[in-house]
Structure 1
Amino acid sequence: MKQAILEIESLRKYYGRHENQTKALDGISFKVLPGEFLGIMGASGSGKSTLLNCIATVTRPTDGHILMGGVEVG
């Protein structure tokens, strides 16, 4: 089996605290294998930019793992 070039495991990103908490990402998981393409689509405010910022290590996730080529980043 091919190793994923990108693997997202139970990724969460929350902003704020307690009753004012916003869940931008809430448990996202997926893999991208060599040769595959990935499109990220969704409504405004659905977490697309937050996901990309976490993958690019611009921001740290609240919880979860991001692996590139099997190596954890961030």
Structure 2
Amino acid sequence: MRDEFLRRNVLLDETDPAPAFHSLIAQDKDGMWRVCVQKDDSERKATIAILPDIPQTPTFMRQVFKGWRI
């Protein structure tokens, strides 16, 4: 499991995180960025809420996506 986790981390570090991030996260009417309703499984995974003024850099997107996949 450890090896697979590390392998996936390396793969994510080598790719553009924007497509995966934006397929997971969408902006709500209130400006907050949250897990898309279709992918939100709050009984089994942590949910995500990101303030609208947080810069969505590639590094930030990777960290969010990696944390959500755990």
Regarding TM over 0.5, the answer is no
TM-score by length of 2: 0.23
- Report which structure shows greater RCO (CA 8 Å, sep ≥6): 1
TM-score by length of 1: 0.22
Compare the two structures and name the one with the higher helix fraction: 2
